[in-house]
Structure 1
Amino acid sequence: MKYVLFLLSAFLLVGCEASDQNDQIFTSDEHSILLILPERMGTNPFLNDIRIGIERFSEENNMHVNTIESKNEEQLYDYLSYYANEGYDLIVTGTYKAHDALYDVASEYSSQSFLIVDFFVDLPNVASITFQEQEASFLLGVLAGYITETNVVGMVAAMDVPLLQKWVTGYELGVHTVNPEAKVIIDYVGHFADPATAKDIAIEFARDNADFVAGAAAVGNYGVFEAALEEGFYTAGQDHDQLIIDPEHILISQLKMADEAVYHTLELFLNETFQGKEYTYGLKEEFIGVTHITHPTDSPLNHVINEEVLQVLNHYKEQIISKEIVIPNPLEDRQ
């Protein structure tokens, strides 16, 4: 993979038209994909998952990939504007931070195909990958509500932004579905990479009698793990299988297989056609899930998750997949 890191000159080619687009986007002799990240990859492991999915697809299909890491949203807009005129088959970006810049650029360059991961942009030349995280977060809440002995559980989330409400609302609903009397405490770190503050919040929850504290704070989850080890409460991993970090306290991991979802969607573009629509993935598609229930893990079950607990979790998993119950998506009414 070739990384391109440079500042654009003052005479960006904003306003120039891109070449005509066909529904079959990978049509040239030398296929090319450009990944433009909204921030430095080192501060957000999720962005690395996007890159991994693109690289795997590109290597298997003999395609050329460039990756650019933006410093901020203004620079992201500049990069998107410039490269929309450079003849890439597909330009990829990701997260809610890219929404405004991508909407503006894609509106202007209607012949260029774009893909945004983890957010929705409603334009005919933008395909959007979104996830039903609230489904897996519901299962996490079911676990917390079912095993709590104090009837107090918590969640430490990164920021109070609409996207993260999928974690928060799903978790709360799961807890109260199996334990209506349980108290659910929620607080926000204010950043995606602040383990110290996340740890402080988790310790405060523990001292308020919470015996299960989930993290939805990105890098901040490592602070929650430290607090669990020190205070003795149970917790859960996020995005990846993190049970090995502390099997005594991390009971389960909520999974978000972004690399697999990106790879799968790019295959659809190659084998079928590019469509400017929302590709959404949940428990049914297996790009969202939890360890031990939807995805295997090398880590053994903690003694807290006995056969009865597994049966309860599997029961709700099957109900979600069959749509006997629907976990509301708080972003559904977005415009």
Structure 2
Amino acid sequence: MFKKRIAVLVAFVVVLASVLAGCGNGKTSGSSATKQTAFKAGEVTDVGGVDDKSFNQSAWEGLKSFAKDNNLKVGTGVKYLQSTQASDYSPNLNTMVHQNFNVVYGIGFLMQSDVQKIAEQNPKAHLGIIDAVAVDKNNKPLKNVASITFKEQQGSFLVGVVAGLTTKTNKVGFVGGINGALIKKFENGFKAGVKAVNPKADIYVQYAGAFDAPDKGAAIAQTFYTKGADIIYSAAGATGNGVFTEAKNRTKSGKKVWVIGVDKDQHDQGLPENVTLTSMVKRVDKAIYDVTKQAKAGKFPGGKVLEYGLEQNGVGIAPTTENVSKKALDAVSGYKKKIIDGSITVPTTDKEYKEYLANLK
């Protein structure tokens, strides 16, 4: 009798242990599966901020679009950290890497050295950088970084065509953020487009030295408009917001002037005075979406330099064209084809621009 009771007790304990183990395994398995499928993508802005109405904002819109299409929650599945000064770049990137984000983007070439440093310190992390190529000490692309670049000169050429055919004063301006190789692509592409259709046009150029100084943008715009420019193309991030402010103030006072926006379709930025002639759209959102999609599929393009131009629909003029003449739109279409087929090589540097001008004569 005693042996039977022991046997029953042992059987009960075994069954109970099995049940508990099953419950425990279920929870562990579920937790593990959650960890494996909880994809996260993050963005670290530059000092222009996520609402710069330019490329930081475009990048964030790309992540939000990806979140919507993949049932990810904004704020957890996709998230951004805002940088208020350059010293925030590394800490913000590091924070997201250590929070196990599957891919972390540094927005802007100003973050190149920080992305490189964090990538080398965390070789298993996946990072992306906009407008720069992340390299190691041997100047070779880092294998855990996707370098996303654009042919800004091509899109800038097209808005230059619009400016050259629209100006009534034969004077236009270009406001740049920080003077460097990247913004020079915008400048020289724009000037080349203007000169292609209006060789007699004068082009004023000035750099603000910052991407987050709208007051400087407004001051430069005031100078250009006072000198007779009736169209200004701004490639200066949040600094360009000041160009819009100056244009709207002048238009309010009865002196109609135009602004050409950048990175996003900035038509709304010119309202209610309607001062946005067109914008050079740089599809940072598309690039971010594409790379994030690859990362989620387990095909992160680390070590690759991805370049988006007219042919890849990565740059171009904005879809809002209500202020652009049919003549200008037809010209844009023609030049776009020539750029894509190689008939025209758009200059990116001052030297290339001088050679381009020489060939126009």
The two structures have a TM-score, normalised by structure 1, of 0.78
Aligned pair count reads: 297
Residue of structure 1 in register with 2:299 after alignment: 273
Residue of structure 2 in register with 1:13 after alignment: none
The one-letter code of the counterpart of 2:131 is: D
Contact 1:134 1:166 in 2 (8 A): yes
Equivalence map 1:128-147=2 (5 Å): 128-147=147-166
CA positional deviation for 1:263: 0.9
The answer as to 2:240 corresponding to 1:232 is no
Gaps of 5+ in 2: 1-34, 135-140, 351-361
Contact 1:195 1:220 in 2 (8 A): yes
Residue of structure 1 in register with 2:276 after alignment: 250
- Could you say if the C-alpha distance between residues 37 and 214 of structure 1 is closer, same or farther in structure 2, counting changes exceeding 3 Å? closer
1:161-197 CA distance string (max 9 Å, x none) = 3321121111111112222232211012232233333
Match of 2:52 among 22, 44, 47: 44
User: Quick one: percent identity of the two aligned structures?
Assistant: 28
Equivalence map 1:11-22=2 (5 Å): none
CA positional deviation for 1:72: 3.2
1:59-111 CA distance string (max 9 Å, x none) = 43345334333443333223434554554322222211211111112123222
In structure 2, how many angstroms separate the alpha carbons of the residues matched to 1:197 and 1:30?
43
The one-letter code of the counterpart of 1:110 is: P
Residue of structure 1 in register with 2:13 after alignment: none
In structure 1, how many angstroms separate the alpha carbons of the residues matched to 2:219 and 2:86?
30
Contact 2:44 2:93 in 1 (8 A): yes
In structure 2, how many angstroms separate the alpha carbons of the residues matched to 1:67 and 1:225?
26
The answer as to 2:190 corresponding to 1:189 is no
Structure 1 counterpart SS, 2:203? strand
The one-letter code of the counterpart of 2:282 is: K
The answer as to 2:311 corresponding to 1:284 is yes
- Could you say if the C-alpha distance between residues 232 and 315 of structure 1 is closer, same or farther in structure 2, counting changes exceeding 3 Å? same
Equivalence map 1:1-335=2 (5 Å): 28-39=36-47, 41-42=49-50, 44-45=52-53, 46-63=55-72, 64-81=77-94, 83-121=96-134, 122-229=141-248, 230=250, 231-244=255-268, 245-246=270-271, 248-271=274-297, 273-275=299-301, 276-291=303-318, 295=319, 297=320, 301-302=322-323, 305-330=324-349
- Could you say if the C-alpha distance between residues 41 and 198 of structure 1 is closer, same or farther in structure 2, counting changes exceeding 3 Å? closer
Structure 1 counterpart SS, 2:36? coil
The one-letter code of the counterpart of 2:59 is: I
- Could you say if the C-alpha distance between residues 211 and 38 of structure 1 is closer, same or farther in structure 2, counting changes exceeding 3 Å? closer
CA positional deviation for 1:139: 0.9
The one-letter code of the counterpart of 1:125 is: N
- Could you say if the C-alpha distance between residues 210 and 87 of structure 1 is closer, same or farther in structure 2, counting changes exceeding 3 Å? closer
In structure 1, how many angstroms separate the alpha carbons of the residues matched to 2:274 and 2:80?
39
Contact 1:137 1:170 in 2 (8 A): yes
Q: Which has the larger radius of gyration?
A: 2
- Could you say if the C-alpha distance between residues 235 and 84 of structure 1 is closer, same or farther in structure 2, counting changes exceeding 3 Å? closer
The one-letter code of the counterpart of 1:236 is: I
Structure 2 counterpart SS, 1:41? coil
Q: Which moved more, 1:139-148 or 1:125-134?
A: 139-148
CA positional deviation for 1:137: 0.8
In structure 2, how many angstroms separate the alpha carbons of the residues matched to 1:39 and 1:234?
26
In structure 1, how many angstroms separate the alpha carbons of the residues matched to 2:178 and 2:86?
18
- Could you say if the C-alpha distance between residues 256 and 82 of structure 1 is closer, same or farther in structure 2, counting changes exceeding 3 Å? closer
Contact 1:43 1:193 in 2 (8 A): no
- Could you say if the C-alpha distance between residues 68 and 240 of structure 1 is closer, same or farther in structure 2, counting changes exceeding 3 Å? closer
CA positional deviation for 1:325: 1.7
CA positional deviation for 1:112: 1.8
CA positional deviation for 1:277: 0.8
- Could you say if the C-alpha distance between residues 207 and 39 of structure 1 is closer, same or farther in structure 2, counting changes exceeding 3 Å? closer
Structure 1 counterpart SS, 2:225? helix
RMSD across aligned positions (CA): 2.7
In structure 1, how many angstroms separate the alpha carbons of the residues matched to 2:260 and 2:42?
34
CA positional deviation for 1:142: 1.4
Contact 2:291 2:300 in 1 (8 A): no
1:214-264 CA distance string (max 9 Å, x none) = 222323333323433414233222222233434654221221232222112
Contact 1:94 1:119 in 2 (8 A): no
In structure 1, how many angstroms separate the alpha carbons of the residues matched to 2:296 and 2:105?
15
- Could you say if the C-alpha distance between residues 234 and 94 of structure 1 is closer, same or farther in structure 2, counting changes exceeding 3 Å? closer
Structure 2 counterpart SS, 1:75? helix
- Could you say if the C-alpha distance between residues 116 and 206 of structure 1 is closer, same or farther in structure 2, counting changes exceeding 3 Å? same
